[in-house]
Structure 1
Amino acid sequence: MITVERYHDISMGHRVVGHESKCRHLHGHNYRIHFVCSASELDPLGRVIDFSEIRDRLCMWLEEHWDHRMMIWSEDPLLPELQRLVPGDLCIVPFNPTAEQIAIHLVSVVGPEQLKGSGITLLECRVEETRKCSAAYRL
């Protein structure tokens, strides 16, 4: 299998509901998100996909939907107050926003939506919260 990889950096806040330590507080990261794509065959130029297509389909999705926003779980008890205070700053998701859950969501929901009809699969996503800490999900 041949794969290609491109990463994109965003800044985003979140909190992990129920976390036993400081991640239970509102805080943020400079995330680095790696997209690994594959195809059943190479295109006529010998590529899986042009790197600019990954940028346009996946990286720009991150920019539009998550960059410089606060990711909040739809069941977070702080959600009603945050919606009252900063409704346009929120990215409400159906999962507790751990790096693991973010990676799963990108591969299983965002990738298929953004790559639909291209013949390309988002095979893996690695979400780096810091240089030392990351989580990955692979199909």
Structure 2
Amino acid sequence: MSLMHVTRRLEIDAGHRIMLHGSKCRHLHGHRYAIEATVCSPQAELHQSGEQAGMVLDFGFLKQEMTACIDQPCDHGFMASLADLDVLRMFAPPAQAFDPWLAGVRQQVERDGYLATTDCRVGSKLYVVPFHPTAEELARHWFQRLQPRVLERSHGLAHLDRVRVWETPNCWAEYTGDGVLSSAG
């Protein structure tokens, strides 16, 4: 079977910690993440007309979706696990009691799979997820967020094939989809 792949890369700077890690990653630290999203068209089919003629998915459209799902909520922010109460206490708004604030955070994470907010101490960006923010988990999470957007922006022609998250220049994790063209709904 012939396939056509296109890939877009986006870089962000963000902090995190892996609270249960047995080594130095349990400390607060940051990375220059590089995120690659690869889109695939089965049978190497390309758009035949319109503004995407001759394309699987316009690189600009893919950039817009990656910016909305990854860059805007996470760049120059901190990614925290919902279970990391010590870190969440550091970010909690000083004018609010922690427990009610945390309950609201938990409710949104359970509903949407994440919370992106600046309603926290010193207005910092905070991205709360229901998992430890490892490269592996982030690759899966961003894949799940991007997948329906890619399908919509390609008018059903293409699907998200993989998301690769580079945590350092030497280390990356990749999550691949099952190749099924479907949308969340």
Q: RMSD in angstroms over aligned alpha carbons?
A: 1.7
Partner of 1:114: 149
Q: Map 1:1-139 to 2 at 5 A.
A: 1-40=3-42, 41-44=45-48, 45-84=53-92, 87=120, 88-108=124-144, 110-118=145-153, 119=156, 120-139=158-177
Q: Deviations over 1:59-94 (max 9, x none)?
A: 343221110110000111324412326824211011
3-state SS of 1:103 partner: helix
Q: Quote the offset at 1:113 in angstroms.
A: 4.1
Q: Give the Cα separation in 1 of the matches to 2:84 and 2:126.
A: 12
Q: Quote the offset at 1:17 in angstroms.
A: 1.8
3-state SS of 2:64 partner: helix
Count of paired positions: 138
Structure scoring higher RCO (CA < 8 A, sep ≥ 6) equals 1
- Choose 6-15 or 78-87, whichever is displaced more: 78-87
Between Structure 1 and Structure 2, whose CA radius of gyration is higher?
2
3-state SS of 1:117 partner: helix
Residue type of the alignment partner of 1:56? Q
Q: Quote the offset at 1:42 in angstroms.
A: 1.1
Q: Quote the offset at 1:46 in angstroms.
A: 2.1
**TM, length-normalised to structure 1:** 0.90
Residue type of the alignment partner of 1:97? P
Identity of aligned residues (%): 34
Q: Quote the offset at 1:98 in angstroms.
A: 0.3
Q: Do 2:77 and 2:125's aligned partners in 1 also have CA atoms closer than 8 Å? A: yes
Unpaired runs of at least 5, structure 2 = 94-118, 178-185
Partner of 2:180: none
Q: Do 2:15 and 2:29's aligned partners in 1 also have CA atoms closer than 8 Å? A: yes
Q: Give the Cα separation in 1 of the matches to 2:88 and 2:12.
A: 25
Q: Give the Cα separation in 1 of the matches to 2:149 and 2:28.
A: 29
Residue type of the alignment partner of 2:173? A
Residue type of the alignment partner of 1:128? W
